[in-house]
Amino acid sequence: MQNILSGLRVVEGSAFVAAPSGGMTLAQLGADVIRFDPIGGGIDYRRWPVTKDQKSLYWHSLNKGKRSIAVDFKRPEGQELLTRLIAAPGEQAGMFLTNFPAKGWLSYERLKQEREDLIYLNLVGDRHGRGALDYTVNCKVGFPSMTGVGKSGDIAPLNNPMPAWDVITGQQIALGLLAAERHRSRTGQGQLVRIALADVALATLGNLGYVAEAMINGTERDAIGNNIYGTYGHDFQCKDGERLMVVGVSPNQWRALVQVTGTENEIHALQERLGLDFRKEGDRYQGRNGITEIFKPWFAARNFAEVTAELDKAGACWGKYQTVKETVEQDIDCSVDNPLFQMVDQPGIGKYLMPDHPLRFTSVEQEPVRPAPRLGEHTEEILADTLGLSGSEIARLFDEKIVASS
């Protein structure tokens, strides 16, 4: 539902994941997001994964639906053009998103001189002004020490390949810009909005109870592999080698697992022996190893298709372990059968599945997913329509290589 933010204009100068994904979220919801890059592309324009022709799938995936202008902003005239673009008039314009250093011509104070009600969202690494990436933030908050199996402090930390803090921060960026825009629409006041990648991780750490656990209980959580802390969940291998994860978080989910495996007597005997009550989540966690050993033979004796059919019949909660390639090639949810996806032709790369925003609004119609722009694809259009430059002025900027197009 991309036109829910129709009319809103955001200028974006960014790199890496968090800031571009924030702009992409707004663009997918219908905002006019104008991304500026240096001529020839910035630091992440060729970042892996790339095609055999060295076209970055990373860059194109994070910039869907945006417009692109290529400017030599090391030169004063290029800086002046972008300043005018950021501060361009319009009730729903004057919004800027960046994780570039907010200093010099890109400082809030400097840009605010051109538009008093400017909304400027600046992403930084940490609150001290140091640089940070998802992986340096993740190790700071302790999650790699809980990944794998073993006692915390005795095992090597293990990174997660999914940049969670970047992704969450991208959503916070979109939320922050929309909140600031609502404030401006009510009061007429713009503002500088700051967000630190590290603070997003630290806030999550606190919101999920990890901070309280360390302070109140004085405990260090160990790495528990594929168990689920505080409840029951584990992975199992079927007779044909396929693996799946089952969870028994709710009472109904737990009863379904016991019922489908036909292990009521063994489970009852185990809880009696351990002095536990498996109607309680915490007790199921304490008895997890014994529970898993009781369940394991049922899965090992059956092929995946039989296992999943029985689990579905019982109302159990489960998920299949599969690679990304398997998900793309075999999972119907990662196909055009799912309204989330459309087959879209990305210029210069080819046709592949592209996701829309997962929000579904009932008051507007879903529009086609828009691919990422070619670098500088909209340079001339933006100079003419948004900044109102004449044909001769635009021609001179191209001739002097202050701007470029694809």
Dihedral angle over CA of 124, 130, 135, 138, nearest 10: -80
Q: Is 166 a catalytic residue?
A: yes
* Residues sharing a CB contact under 8 Å with residue 224, sequence separation 6 or more, in sequence order: 146, 149
Beta strands in 134-237 (DSSP E): 149-150, 191-196, 223-224, 232-237
Indicate the DSSP class of residue 214.
I
Q: What is the pLDDT of residue 32?
A: 98
Of 32, 37, 72, 166, the catalytic one is 166
Neighbours of 59 (CB within 10 A): 20
CB atoms within 10 A of CB 237: 14
Q: What is the pLDDT of residues 342-365, one digit of tens each?
A: 999 999 999 999 999 999 999 998
Q: What pLDDT digit, counting tens, does each position of 6-55 carry?
A: 999 999 999 999 999 999 999 999 999 999 999 999 999 999 999 999 99
Q: Which two structure tokens, joined as six digits, stand for 307? A: 């296992």
In percent, the amount of the chain with pLDDT more than 90 equals 95
pLDDT digits over 367-399, tens only?
A: 999 999 999 999 999 999 999 999 999 999 999
What is the reported pTM?
Answer: 0.95
Closest by CA position to 137, among listed 18, 12, 14? 18
The confidence score (pLDDT) of residue 366 equals 87
CB 287 within 8 A of CB 278: yes
Evaluate whether 290 touches 270 at the Cβ level (below 8 Å).
yes
DSSP letter at 382?
I
Mean per-residue pLDDT, 197-204? 98
pLDDT digits 0-9 by tens, 136-146? 999 999 999 99
